[in-house]
Amino acid sequence: MAQIISGNEVSKQIQAETKVESEALRSKGVVPGLATVLVGEDPASQVYIGQKIKTCNKLGIESFHHHLSEKATESEILGLVQKLNNDPKVHGILCQLPLPKHIDSDKILVAISPNKDVDGFHLMNMGKLLSKKNAREISESGIYLPCTPHGIIQLLRRTGIPMAGAEAVIVGRSNIVGKPVALLLMAENATVTICHTGTKDLGEVCRRADILVAAIGKPKVVTADMVKNGVTVIDVGVNRIGKTPEGKDMLVGDVDFDGVKEKARAITPVPGGVGPMTIAMLMVNTVKAARLLSGVK
């Protein structure tokens, strides 16, 4: 039976460490500040923003929330981003995705100052990540790492899963998860394969994995016959497949958890796996930004 890798527990460790850092900055007159921007009324986005604000409050990070109408124009959002870029109380800026269809998300993300890009999606930060050869260089560079990929690395590291020399297979090639987690795993000396819709015989490739990261956005795509015994599985997917009798969302990952856990060495659940880590690493980046922008050590 697989070890269950609890993102809830690991994120609590990281949040406790981050709170200590936040309080140390406050004692020196620097209050870490995170600005969140929500455009529209997407229910899932509202939940995510609420979780981030709640965690800010718990860790001594000041939150500045801006909720714009679904009909907000691109120029209005860009104007708000520029205002936040210039606000010394704001150390990190997060624009909740997805944005309404009439908004060019890439244009908004690039408008955020790279020094306040606590999501780690700015082209400059992504480019810096690409240029680093190993984990030591990444750590010393001071760049903001994308939160979900960084959270995945922390889960593996803090639960003692060896990455150096491991064969890692990533199912999904998005800019948000697939590509950056591949770079981070390579920096840890794993040998990485990225799978996508053009991959021939996905199961054959997945069966090579010592570490399998599923980030394809489709429910239960990875089944027990697609993994080998002893694999470590990181399930990034959050798929809503209906409602419980109580009216709550029924959530499943990209992995058939019940089947795969019988063969895996370790596996993350959904919910309670990668999700909490994403918020934890956002807080880490915000406190890091406060330290770097203030010049206080």
Phi and psi dihedrals of 187, rounded to 5?
-65, -25
Q: What pLDDT does 84 receive?
A: 98
> 105-116 pLDDT, tens per residue?
999 999 999 999
Residue 297, pLDDT > 80, answer no
pTM of the model: 0.95
- Catalytic-labelled residue, pool 117, 119, 210, 256: 119
Residue 179 annotated among the catalytic residues of the structure: no
Q: What pLDDT does 1 receive?
A: 78
- Catalytic-labelled residue, pool 96, 210, 256, 288: 96
In the chain, the N- to C-terminal Cα span, in Å, equals: 45
> 99-155 pLDDT, tens per residue?
999 999 999 999 999 999 999 999 999 999 999 999 999 999 889 999 999 999 999
CATH of 146-274, one of 3.90.1490.10, 3.40.50.720, 3.30.1330.60, 3.90.550.10: 3.40.50.720
Residue 52 annotated among the catalytic residues of the structure: yes
247: left (phi over 0), alpha (psi -120 to 50) or beta: left
> 194-247 pLDDT, tens per residue?
999 899 999 999 999 999 999 999 999 999 999 999 999 999 999 888 887 887
| Residue ranges of the chain that CATH labels 3.40.50.720 | 146-274
Residue 270, pLDDT > 90, answer yes
Q: What pLDDT does 246 receive?
A: 80
Please name every residue paired with 249 in a beta bridge, in sequence order, or none if there are none: 243
Q: What pLDDT does 247 receive?
A: 77
Q: What pLDDT does 244 receive?
A: 75
**Residue 65 binned pLDDT confidence (cut-offs 50, 70, 90):** very high
Q: What pLDDT does 44 receive?
A: 83
Which of 180, 187, 165 is closest to 213 using CA atoms?
Answer: 180
CATH of 31-113, one of 3.40.50.10860, 2.70.98.10, 1.10.3210.10, 3.40.640.10: 3.40.50.10860
Q: What pLDDT does 243 receive?
A: 82
Which tokens in the block code for residue 263?
Answer: 């063969």
Q: What pLDDT does 275 receive?
A: 95
Residue 119 annotated among the catalytic residues of the structure: yes
| Residue ranges of the chain that CATH labels 3.40.50.10860 | 31-113
> 234-252 pLDDT, tens per residue?
999 998 888 878 878 788 9
Mean per-residue pLDDT of the chain: 96
SS3 content of the chain, % helix, strand, coil (to 5): 45, 15, 40
**Residue 283 binned pLDDT confidence (cut-offs 50, 70, 90):** very high
- Catalytic-labelled residue, pool 52, 128, 263, 288: 52
